[in-house]
Amino acid sequence: MQINDYLGEELEHIKKAGLWRQMEVAEDLPSAARIVIEGRQMINLCSNNYLGLAGHPEVKKAACQAIERWGASATASSLMAGHTELHRRLEEKISEFKKTQGALTFSSGYLANLGIISALVGPGDVVFSDRLNHASIVDGIILSRAILKRYRHNDVGHLEKLLREESKKGKGENKNKDKKMREDDKERGGAGSKNKCKDKNNNIRLIVTDTVFSMDGDIAPLPEIVSLAREYDCLLMVDEAHATGVLGPGGRGGVEHFGLEGQVAIQMGTLSKALGAQGGYVTGSKQLIDYLINKSRPFIYTTSLTPSMAEAALKALQIIDKDSSFRNKLWQNVNYFRDAIVEAGFDTGPSQTQIIPIIIGQPDKAIEFSRLVYQEDIFARAIRPPTVPKDKARIRVSLTAGHTQADLEKVVQVFAKTGRKLRLV
């Protein structure tokens, strides 16, 4: 078979379904709120630079100084020579910020999820995962070969039902089914079996949820999930990617937002959104960190985080600690924009945060909406299946502290006009 025949056929299917994806070239990113494409400067509604820290003078200076001192690359994996003083200082800062015993950095948030989940659970173990969790969580579970039980989005009743069913299961059922896989797994040095939170068959049970969901912008009911994890003796892991720097009185994330410090065993997040740098982290007990250093393949077998990004993230955390003005401005923008866009007749779904979906429905209509607002210098991308459910194609707006009141007023006005044109409002 000719590779291009095969690929061409697949690509035709994608095009026919209206799901063709392509990248736009950003010619400049002058601020969190601006992007230049095809020579035109536009209002950017697609950035995760929520606090604008990627362009903060102190963050940029920290990154530049780190490059001057350490060079452009870590040049080795963490367990070889890639774990620098900068990594150590950042990890200390993360655990202080999150009020935990230790932290570990990964080259990206995606790799953090892959690395945490695949190290903690293995064949025969069960992971209870919110249906709308980020793809990197899903991929981590697939890599682990644990059993995936998806519960309906933010539905603690459904989660409890699945937990109850699982705890009633016949003795050894999962274990026997996956014995062979478990043996294979030992050979490749995967998840061991010396862990707490196991059922009577020695299988580990893990509940995992985003705290802020990346496509709907709603917040997980964490207090209820924490109670269920305790009641059913499960490990609990949260993904704070969109919540770090944003939620909670100190910007420490969803766990702080709900006052649940000390009650979530595994917290991960990214350095690449509100922190304006790049990389991922996990934070928790000293044992968790030691375990991952020894067991997590996406940590072990890759070059460590670029030193300049460690330094940039450290500076961003220091800024977040001493200056809440960026976070306050972000929330002011969120509250204004959500009210105004709902007032204009749009459906923003369950959004409670800086991620505000404008639900449109059919993929082609979402694309058309995006194209029309583009003509008015607003960059807002359509999100289509399989990233979101079939009839829930949308424009995904993410706001930053860098957007001005005038920006938001223009967006509301152009969206309202476009919505009327496409008969959405």
Q: Which residues are catalytic?
A: 214, 242, 273
Least distance from C-beta 211 to ligand PLP, angstroms? 9
109 binds ligand PLP (CB under 6 A): yes
Distance of CA 409 to CAs 74, 76, 379, 417, Å? Answer: 44, 48, 15, 12
Does residue 327 sit in helix, strand or coil? helix
Which stretch, 107-115, 122-130, 152-160, 195-203, contacts ligand PLP (CB under 6 A)? 107-115
Least distance from C-beta 242 to ligand PLP, angstroms? 5
**3 state SS for 251-264:** CCCHHHHCCCCCCC
Which stretch, 51-59, 85-93, 106-114, 311-319, contacts ligand PLP (CB under 6 A)? 106-114
210 binds ligand PLP (CB under 6 A): yes
118 binds ligand PLP (CB under 6 A): no
In whole angstroms, what is the distance from residue 44 CA to residue 56 CA?
17
Please give the structure tokens belonging to residue 118: 């695949």
In whole angstroms, what is the distance from residue 383 CA to residue 388 CA?
7
239 binds ligand PLP (CB under 6 A): yes
> Residues 415, 397: contact at Cβ < 8 Å?
no
Least distance from C-beta 203 to ligand PLP, angstroms? 25
Please give the structure tokens belonging to residue 375: 């003509």
Among 129, 174, 209, 270, binds ligand PLP (CB under 6 A): 270
> Residues 309, 105: contact at Cβ < 8 Å?
no
State the residue for tokens 């994330």.
253
Least distance from C-beta 96 to ligand PLP, angstroms? 21
Among 54, 59, 234, 241, binds ligand PLP (CB under 6 A): 241
Please give the structure tokens belonging to residue 376: 């008015």
DSSP 8: H
272 binds ligand PLP (CB under 6 A): yes
Q: Which is nearer to ligand PLP, 234 or 241 (CB)?
A: 241
Where along the sequence are the contacts to ligand PLP (CB under 6 A)? 108-110, 113, 134, 136, 210, 214, 239, 241-242, 270, 272, 280
